[in-house]
Amino acid sequence: MKAKDIREMTAEELDRAAEESRKEIFNLRLQGQTGQLENPARIRLLRKDVARIETEKTARRKQAK
């Protein structure tokens, strides 16, 4: 997910996207523990997406003040 796409999302969409990414990270970590994980790089990409989303949420909170 690109930063431009994240900036265009509403607050509700940001919350939903972050939650979905966190759930997917959890599932991928479980797959890794059982030896079924095919693409370990996906976890890193999802973590970065969550960080981008949280950064945008923080920026919006600071801008609102």
DSSP structural state of residue 43: H
Q: Could you give the domains of the chain? A: 3-64 (1.10.287.310)
Q: Which residues contact 5 (CB under 8 A, 6 or more apart)?
A: none
Q: Which residues contact 11 (CB under 8 A, 6 or more apart)?
A: 57, 60
Number of other CB atoms surrounding residue 39 within 10 Å = 9
Q: State pTM to two decimals.
A: 0.91
Calculate helix-pair angle for 41-64, 11-34, nearest 10 degrees: 160
64 vs 36: CA distance, rounded Å: 44
How confident is the chain (65 residues) per 10-residue block, as mean pLDDT?
Answer: 94 97 98 96 97 97 94
The whole-number pLDDT of residue 1 equals 85
The whole-number pLDDT of residue 62 equals 97
